[in-house]
């Protein structure tokens, strides 16, 4: 594949992610005061999937600048969804851990997000849903290969 074709793929991917965010995860009209942004949800989900992590590790996994992550983690800590604690080996290293309240919030939010996405998908024909499912599975497979090369 030549350079121009790879540039086209990169350009398409860069437009795909904001479009997915806008179409699938727009701010809900029924949000409550304690509802968090989708980015904060993904931070909690990362901690659920990988266990206790440092801010640097979370930032790498989510491709967020560490300096941008700090206020987000503070908001999660203020909401009592995460706690930070020092490493036993090196007190300068701080880990984040989901609290029970964070786990409960994540469970409720996951359910509501899935419902919202299902509603949006309800507008599609069965043929389009099948194509979307196949495409998502292919994208997951290909992205897993990219992650292995890191």
pLDDT at residue 21, rounded to an integer? 78
C-beta atoms surrounding 134 within 10 Å: 10
> What is the topology classification, in CATH, of domain 33-124?
Arc Repressor Mutant, subunit A (1.10.10)
pLDDT at residue 30, rounded to an integer? 44
* Integer Cα distance of 82 and 4 in angstroms: 44
Taking only the tens place, the pLDDT of each residue in 8-55 is 998 988 888 778 878 887 665 444 445 678 889 999 999 999 999 999
Structure tokens at 58: 């979370």
Taking only the tens place, the pLDDT of each residue in 91-150 is 999 999 999 999 999 999 888 888 888 998 998 999 999 999 999 999 989 988 886 554
* Integer Cα distance of 19 and 11 in angstroms: 13
Contact of 97 with 52, CB cutoff 8 Å: yes
pLDDT at residue 76, rounded to an integer? 96
Q: What is the pTM of this model?
A: 0.74
What one-character-per-residue DSSP string does 51-105 give?
Answer: -SEEHHHHHHHHT--HHHHHHHHHHHHHTTSEEEEE-SS-TT-EEEEE-HHHHHH
Taking only the tens place, the pLDDT of each residue in 56-89 is 999 999 988 999 999 999 999 999 999 999 999 9
Query: Domain extents for the chain?
Result: 33-124
């Amino acid at each position: 594949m030549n350079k121009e074709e790879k540039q086209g793929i990169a350009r398409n991917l860069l437009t795909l992610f904001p479009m997915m965010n806008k179409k699938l995860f727009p701010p809900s009209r029924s949000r409550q005061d304690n509802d968090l942004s989708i980015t904060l949800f993904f931070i909690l989900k990362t901690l659920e999937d990988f266990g206790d992590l440092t801010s640097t590790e979370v930032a790498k996994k989510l491709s967020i600048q560490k300096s941008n992550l700090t206020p987000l983690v503070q908001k999660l800590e203020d909401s009592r969804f995460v706690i930070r604690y020092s490493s036993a080996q090196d007190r300068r290293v701080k880990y984040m851990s989901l609290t029970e309240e964070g786990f409960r919030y994540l469970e409720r939010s996951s359910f509501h997000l899935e419902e919202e996405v299902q509603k949006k998908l309800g507008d599609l024909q069965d043929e389009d849903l099948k194509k979307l499912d196949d495409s998502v599975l292919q994208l997951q497979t290909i992205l897993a290969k990219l992650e292995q090369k890191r």
